[in-house]
């Protein structure tokens, strides 16, 4: 399954190459994907088709079921999907011929898109469902708006540690009291998990940024000898935990849901969860601006947000959506009121500014 987080890492590595001049070759390599319908006149609001770029896989399937189909039923606007990569997207936009009207992607990526001048500034007057909806301010950016929460949490075997439940990243780091192998995320998967090291060392949630890199790597040194594996795909933590190769690991929330339902002795710990969000952005040069705003606004309805969370383990960003979910479903989502209070939002601006430096340092640290 293609995953939005793996795509994000590839994008951060590839965007520099695009800026250096591969736009033309990237455009030539782009497949046709789902093209616009012949009935599109090219004027804003007149098309009965909108082309959305998403990352595909199970995430794309969930969007089809919980978002695109009900949107088309209500509006008569057909949603077509394209799964092209970031170099191709940026190349098309630079050429003034994007084959897509709307981008579904991680909010951290949209910071780079905006810096490249590739996305439109949003007109929030056209997004009535975003107004006074209680959406976190960091998800109401000038060139992108949030869509769903996802994030990284701790996972552990419930039959390890003598039945004790690690309740914090400090306990994850305490391999003397809770002996056993650990796993942490590889830099190839997503941004390094430096925040978890700082939380383990006593840094408060609201004092994490700017990250103290020297301190974070000193704390990582303390657990390095117990790290059995640095995982680089979203499925690997479940494999490692299931085989009892490790007793605790960081994991992308939702990745263990099926295993837990099957009776595997696994559980999540939400304390200190690092939240991120997928969002929407409109590419420069779209000919279908009205339909793009309609789909964004539709996605922010509480009932639509709730339906998506029931289909796929990403959390609503609209607080009212939780009133439409069962307590059982809500308790397992990173955006619920309880889990919001015990986690934190990744500072996407800080990560975009420091990603190259951190990645280089992490790779050097992991090799030693």
**What pLDDT was estimated at residue 11?**
43
What value does the mean pLDDT take over residues 232-253? 96
Asked if domains 4-148+278-323 and 150-275+349-367 share a fold, the reply is yes
Instruction: Determine what percent of the chain is predicted with pLDDT higher than 70.
Output: 87
Task: Decide: 110 and 144 in contact? Cβ < 8 Å.
Answer: yes
What is each CA distance from 26 to 19, 50, 96, 113, 279, in whole angstroms? 11, 23, 14, 16, 24
**What pLDDT was estimated at residue 355?**
92
Task: Decide: 48 and 40 in contact? Cβ < 8 Å.
Answer: yes
**DSSP state for residue 68 in the 8-state scheme:** I
Which position has the token pair 């960003």? 317
**C-alpha 64 chain-centroid distance:** 18
pLDDT at 13 over 90: no
**What pLDDT was estimated at residue 267?**
96
Backbone angles phi, psi at 289, to 5 degrees: -65, -40
Q: How far apart are CA 267 and CA 45, in angstroms?
A: 47
What value does the mean pLDDT take over residues 243-252? 97
Name 367's Cβ contacts closer than 8 Å, sequence gap at least 6: none
Look at 83 and 38; give whichever has higher pLDDT: 83
Query: If pLDDT is split at 50, 70 and 90, which confidence band does 47 have?
Result: low
Query: If pLDDT is split at 50, 70 and 90, which confidence band does 27 have?
Result: very low
Look at 3 and 319; give whichever has higher pLDDT: 319
**What pLDDT was estimated at residue 149?**
97
Name 222's Cβ contacts closer than 8 Å, sequence gap at least 6: 173
Interstrand relation of 227-231 and 182-185 (parallel, antiparallel or unpaired): parallel
**What pLDDT was estimated at residue 108?**
92
pLDDT at 183 over 80: yes
**What pLDDT was estimated at residue 18?**
37
Q: Which of 356, 42, 328 is nearest to 191 (CA)?
A: 356
**What pLDDT was estimated at residue 3?**
52
pLDDT at 36 over 50: no
Q: Which of 267, 261, 236, 241 is nearest to 1 (CA)?
A: 236
SS3 per residue for 255-285:
CCHHHHHCCCCEEEEEEEEEEEEEEEECECC
Q: How far apart are CA 127 and CA 123, in angstroms?
A: 7
**What pLDDT was estimated at residue 29?**
29
Backbone angles phi, psi at 35, to 5 degrees: -80, 165
pLDDT at 17 over 90: no
Name 37's Cβ contacts closer than 8 Å, sequence gap at least 6: 47, 48, 49, 78, 80
- Cβ neighbour number for residue 16 with a 10 Å cutoff: 11
Q: How far apart are CA 49 and CA 30, in angstroms?
A: 20
Q: How far apart are CA 339 and CA 283, in angstroms?
A: 33
What is each CA distance from 306 to 151, 300, 303, 312, in whole angstroms? 18, 10, 5, 10
What value does the mean pLDDT take over residues 19-48? 36
What are the start-end ranges of the H helices in the chain?
A: 4-17, 23-29, 57-63, 69-75, 86-95, 107-115, 169-173, 194-200, 213-223, 236-242, 257-261, 289-299, 302-311, 327-331, 337-342, 348-367
Domain ranges of the chain: 4-148+278-323, 150-275+349-367
Homologous superfamily, domain 150-275+349-367: Periplasmic binding protein-like II (3.40.190.10)
**DSSP state for residue 333 in the 8-state scheme:** S
**What pLDDT was estimated at residue 340?**
93
**What pLDDT was estimated at residue 117?**
96
**DSSP state for residue 354 in the 8-state scheme:** H
Q: How far apart are CA 227 and CA 291, in angstroms?
A: 48
Into which CATH architecture does domain 4-148+278-323 fall?
3-Layer(aba) Sandwich (3.40)
Task: Decide: 82 and 33 in contact? Cβ < 8 Å.
Answer: yes
What value does the mean pLDDT take over residues 274-279? 96
Query: If pLDDT is split at 50, 70 and 90, which confidence band does 163 have?
Result: confident
């Amino acid at each position: 399954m293609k995953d939005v987080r793996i795509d994000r890492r590839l994008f951060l590595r590839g965007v520099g190459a695009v800026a250096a001049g591969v736009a033309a070759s990237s455009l030539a390599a782009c497949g046709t994907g789902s093209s616009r319908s012949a009935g599109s006149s090219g004027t804003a609001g007149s098309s009965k088709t909108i082309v959305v770029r998403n990352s595909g896989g199970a995430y794309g399937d969930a969007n089809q079921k919980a978002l695109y189909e009900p949107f088309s039923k209500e509006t008569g606007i057909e949603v077509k999907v394209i799964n092209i990569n970031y170099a191709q997207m940026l190349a098309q936009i630079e050429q003034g011929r994007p084959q897509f009207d709307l981008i579904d992607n991680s909010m951290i990526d949209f910071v780079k898109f905006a810096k490249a001048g590739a996305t439109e500034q949003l007109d929030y007057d056209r997004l009535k469902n975003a107004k006074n909806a209680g959406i976190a301010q960091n998800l109401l950016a000038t060139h992108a708006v949030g869509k769903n929460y996802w994030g990284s949490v701790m996972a552990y075997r419930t039959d390890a540690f003598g039945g004790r439940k690690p309740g914090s990243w400090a306990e994850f780091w305490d391999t003397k009291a809770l002996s056993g192998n650990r796993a942490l995320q590889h830099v190839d998967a997503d941004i390094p998990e430096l925040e978890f090291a700082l939380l383990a060392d006593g840094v408060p949630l609201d004092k994490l940024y700017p990250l103290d890199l020297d301190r974070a790597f000193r704390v990582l040194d303390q657990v390095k000898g117990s790290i059995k594996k640095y995982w680089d795909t979203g499925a690997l933590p479940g494999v490692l935990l299931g085989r009892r190769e490790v007793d605790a690991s960081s994991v992308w929330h939702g990745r263990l849901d099926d295993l837990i339902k099957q009776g595997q002795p696994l559980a999540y710990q939400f304390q200190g969860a690092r939240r991120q969000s997928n969002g929407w952005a409109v590419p420069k040069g779209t000919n279908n601006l009205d339909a793009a705003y309609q789909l964004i606004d539709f996605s922010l309805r509480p009932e639509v947000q709730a339906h998506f969370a029931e289909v796929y383990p990403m959390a609503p960003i609209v607080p009212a959506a939780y009133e439409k979910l069962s307590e059982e479903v809500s308790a397992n989502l990173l955006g619920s009121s309880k889990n919001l209070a015990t986690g934190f939002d990744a500072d996407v601006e800080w990560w975009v500014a420091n990603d190259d430096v951190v990645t280089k340092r992490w790779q050097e640290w992991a090799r030693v």
